Amino acid sequence: MPTRLRPTAPIASDAVLVGDPGRALLLAQELLEEPKMSNHARGLWGYSGRTPSGEMLTIQATGIGGPSATLVLGDLAELGVQRVVRVGTCVAFDPAHGLGDLLLISGALGDGGSAASFGVARGETVPTDARLSQRLGEELGWDGPPVVVASFDSHPSERASDTGAAAADMQTAPLLARARSLEIEAAAVLIVAELAAGGGTLEKDSLEVSERRAGQAASSTLSG
């Protein structure tokens, strides 16, 4: 039995990973027919069920930051998860990206901390799975090159822009590193929820619209 998760329903081999338990509930209602709560231990809400196209899918909250996310992914691996798509939020540094935009991620820069614990050197880019990311890009209608995000164990500060990454978040790099060590295929789509330098934050209703769009793309990617 995994250490943190206490599954009360079968876990699918494909999973959408989100940080926020509320986002897990939102996407379960959006993506699954008759979703069943598959975990509520430690407040890490998870749901499993069938998509409208008939595939089994799990939607699992991972909590805040890389340390929590990597521990949850380890438990999911024990339960048979083989492919994951992260649906998260980020702070954008590139002015080409506005609030509510969905960013297709090609890789994530580690900044020490939890990423380093999985062998990622500071400044090293951990790539997403190329095939899964290509499929995700098709579902998103992405028509440009995917972007790199920098990951930090605390809320990204202004110095995060010095990495040269288009955006920053709190868990993609360690999550991708952990997936690599577990031989799990992983991709990521991030919602621009905040702009750097006091550029504003995304309102709740608009965030939910973007969450649904990202979740639909992630689900369709895993169904393909």
Query: Residue 39's domain is classified under what CATH number?
Result: 3.40.50.1580
Give a yes or no: residue 211 inside a domain: yes
3-state secondary structure of 23: helix
3-state secondary structure of 190: strand
Give a yes or no: residue 4 inside a domain: no
Instruction: Identify the pLDDT of residue 119.
Output: 87
Give a yes or no: residue 8 inside a domain: no
Query: Maximum distance among all alpha carbons in the chain?
Result: 46
Residue 87: is its pLDDT beyond 90?
yes
Give a yes or no: residue 159 inside a domain: yes
Give a yes or no: residue 132 inside a domain: yes
Give a yes or no: residue 7 inside a domain: no
Q: Which domain holds residue 21?
A: 14-223
pLDDT digits (tens, 9 = 90+) for 158-193: 666 677 899 999 999 999 999 999 999 999 999 999
Give a yes or no: residue 9 inside a domain: no
Give a yes or no: residue 71 inside a domain: yes
Give the closest residue to 97 by CA, choosing from 158, 37, 155, 142: 142
pLDDT digits (tens, 9 = 90+) for 65-79: 999 999 999 999 999
pLDDT digits (tens, 9 = 90+) for 135-144: 999 999 999 8
Q: How many domains does the chain have?
A: 1
Q: Round the average pLDDT of the chain to a whole number and report it.
A: 93
